[in-house]
């Protein structure tokens, strides 16, 4: 009898659990984007998304178009993958609350990736940056020789270093991977760039994943290749015109997010990296210990948390000049 009771209770529990899980599977309603619930209850697409968000989103974009909803760890996230529609999300302050999943301070790794790239991957970039520093030293009448009288660059002088700025932005383009999420505070209709209207439910999230933009071959030729001068025009000035399908993009580089939640430390971060690089190149000779070592891959396990880190350390020697 006792055994039967246990059996009945167990069956009931299992039944109500499956009913609960069944109910958590969402059906698409009129006007809503296509939905993918994933195979696993609750978790949904989280595992596949977490393993490689870029690939996950690229496959869905091919299948569904520029907007689709995925269940990820109990949340329903509508991804907008068309960069021309980014502004619909970023400017839509009224119905969307921002929520950040980004590592706040990621400078250390960024700095590492940047100098690593210049000394290791591109002698040309190193030369351009060294030139820029030398010009600035000349203009400001400073010499790095005297350690008691260290070189000082003002913010305006750091701002004027376009080659270094471009190189830093190129490193950020290749290594940033944070996801921007906004929570819908009520049911509303989101109008995309092409005029398509999407019904969004209260409590759902809208997700932008700028890495997809950063690796788009329509926007950046050979997107996986590091080109230090990508963000410079032929006159050596900052380049701000990037195109997709022949149309100029408002958003082409978003390592710091955008809109109300955009990183307030971005100018500080970039100036600090510039200062660090300038001092490093002025005062030290550096060399990789093993110049033929393969380039470390970026560690994808930290995706969604700001800047990707190299998968392992690289040894180098340095000497005061
Ligand atoms: C290269 C270095 C850095 C990168 C790539 C970076 C990236 C980001 C990103 C992606 C966000 C979220 C933006 C969004 O969701 O729209 C963010 C937010 C934030 N960052 Fe940074 N950041 C960097 C350096 C810094 C520094 C140096 C500081 C402070 C001195 C800082 C302070 C913050 C704060 C306070 C927020 C939260 C802003 C908010 O929620 O309103 N960050 N950062
Ligand atoms: C690099 O990006 C920052 C913001 O992300 C921007 O303010 C700066 O002007 C850019 N510099 C260059 C040279 O592209």
Q: Is the minimum distance from the CB of 268 to ligand 1 under 6 angstroms?
A: yes
Domain assignment present for residue 50? The answer is: yes
Domain assignment present for residue 195? The answer is: yes
Instruction: Calculate how far, in angstroms, residue 169's C-alpha sits from the geometric centre of ligand 2.
Output: 6
Q: Is the minimum distance from the CB of 67 to ligand 1 under 6 angstroms?
A: no
Domain assignment present for residue 14? The answer is: no
Q: Is the minimum distance from the CB of 257 to ligand 2 under 6 angstroms?
A: no
Residue 222: pLDDT band with limits 50, 70, 90 = very high
Instruction: Calculate how far, in angstroms, residue 87's C-alpha sits from the geometric centre of ligand 2.
Output: 19
Q: Is the minimum distance from the CB of 169 to ligand 2 under 6 angstroms?
A: yes
Nearest ligand 1 atom to alpha carbon 260: 41
233 alpha carbon, distance to own chain's centre: 23
Domain assignment present for residue 21? The answer is: no
pLDDT of residue 241: 97
Q: Would the pLDDT of 259 be above 60?
A: yes
Residue 69: pLDDT band with limits 50, 70, 90 = very high
Give the mean pLDDT of 275-286: 88
Helix, strand, or coil here: 18? helix
Instruction: Calculate how far, in angstroms, residue 167's C-alpha sits from the geometric centre of ligand 2.
Output: 10
Query: Which residues lie across from 198 on neighbouring strands?
Result: 190
Higher-scoring residue by pLDDT: 40, 230? 230
Task: Provide the residue range defining the domain that includes 244.
Answer: 29-320
Q: Are strands 35-36 and 309-310 parallel, antiparallel or unpaired?
A: unpaired
Domain assignment present for residue 303? The answer is: yes
Q: Which range among 68-77, 104-113, 220-229 shows the weakest confidence by mean pLDDT? A: 104-113
Q: Would the pLDDT of 114 be above 70?
A: no
Q: Would the pLDDT of 102 be above 70?
A: no
Give the mean pLDDT of 211-234: 94
Domain assignment present for residue 198? The answer is: yes
Give the mean pLDDT of 96-124: 58
Domain count, the chain: 1
Atom 28, ligand 1: residue with shortest CA distance: 265
Q: Would the pLDDT of 161 be above 70?
A: yes
CA-CA distances (angstroms) from residue 246 to 215, 232, 241? Answer: 17, 19, 11
Domain assignment present for residue 183? The answer is: yes
Residue 25: pLDDT band with limits 50, 70, 90 = confident
CATH code (residue 35): 1.10.630.10
Q: Would the pLDDT of 40 be above 90?
A: no
The Cα 238–Cα 279 span in angstroms is 23
Instruction: Calculate how far, in angstroms, residue 105's C-alpha sits from the geometric centre of ligand 1.
Output: 7
Percent of the chain's residues with pLDDT above 70: 83
Residue 297: pLDDT band with limits 50, 70, 90 = confident
Domain assignment present for residue 18? The answer is: no
Q: Is the minimum distance from the CB of 256 to ligand 2 under 6 angstroms?
A: yes
Nearest ligand 1 atom to alpha carbon 269: 27
Would you say 106 and 178 are in contact if contact means Cβ atoms under 8 Å apart?
A: no
The Cα 1–Cα 7 span in angstroms is 10
Atom 2, ligand 2: residue with shortest CA distance: 169
Alpha helices in the chain (DSSP H): 2-23, 46-51, 53-64, 86-90, 107-116, 123-139, 155-159, 162-175, 210-214, 266-283
Nearest listed ligand to the Cα of residue 169? 2
Q: Is the minimum distance from the CB of 264 to ligand 1 under 6 angstroms?
A: yes
Percent of the chain's residues with pLDDT above 90: 45
Nearest listed ligand to the Cα of residue 276? 1
263 is in an annotated binding site: yes
Residue 305: pLDDT band with limits 50, 70, 90 = low
Higher-scoring residue by pLDDT: 105, 1? 1
């Amino acid at each position: 009898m006792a055994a039967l009771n246990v059996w009945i209770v167990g069956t009931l529990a299992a039944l109500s659990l499956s009913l609960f899980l069944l109910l958590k599977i969402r059906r698409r309603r009129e006007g809503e984007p296509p939905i993918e619930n994933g195979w696993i209850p609750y978790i949904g697409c989280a595992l596949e998304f977490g393993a490689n968000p870029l690939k996950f989103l690229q496959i869905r974009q091919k299948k569904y178009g520029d907007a689709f909803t995925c269940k990820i760890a109990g949340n329903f996230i509508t991804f907008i993958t068309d960069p021309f529609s980014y502004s619909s999300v970023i400017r839509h302050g009224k119905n969307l609350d921002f929520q950040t999943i980004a590592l706040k301070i990621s400078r250390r790794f960024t700095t590492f990736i940047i100098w690593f790239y210049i000394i290791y991957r591109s002698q040309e970039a190193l030369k351009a940056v060294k030139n820029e520093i030398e010009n600035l030293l000349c203009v400001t009448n400073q010499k790095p020789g005297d350690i008691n009288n260290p070189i000082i660059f003002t913010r305006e002088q750091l701002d004027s270093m376009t080659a270094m700025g471009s190189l830093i932005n190129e490193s950020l383009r290749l290594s940033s991977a944070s996801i921007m999420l906004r929570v819908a505070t009520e049911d509303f209709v989101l109008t995309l760039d092409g005029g398509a209207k999407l019904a969004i439910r209260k409590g759902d999230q809208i997700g932008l994943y700028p890495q997809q933009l950063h690796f788009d071959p329509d926007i950046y030729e050979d997107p996986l290749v590091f080109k230090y001068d990508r963000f410079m025009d032929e006159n050596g000035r900052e380049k701000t015109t990037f195109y997709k399908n022949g149309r100029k993009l408002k958003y082409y580089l978003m390592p710091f997010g955008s809109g109300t939640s955009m990183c307030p430390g971005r100018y500080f971060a970039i100036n600090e990296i510039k200062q660090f690089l300038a001092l490093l190149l002025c005062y030290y000779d550096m060399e990789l210990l093993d110049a033929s070592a393969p380039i470390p891959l970026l560690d994808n396990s930290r995706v969604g948390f700001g800047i990707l880190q190299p998968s392992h350390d690289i040894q180098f020697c340095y000497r005061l000049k």
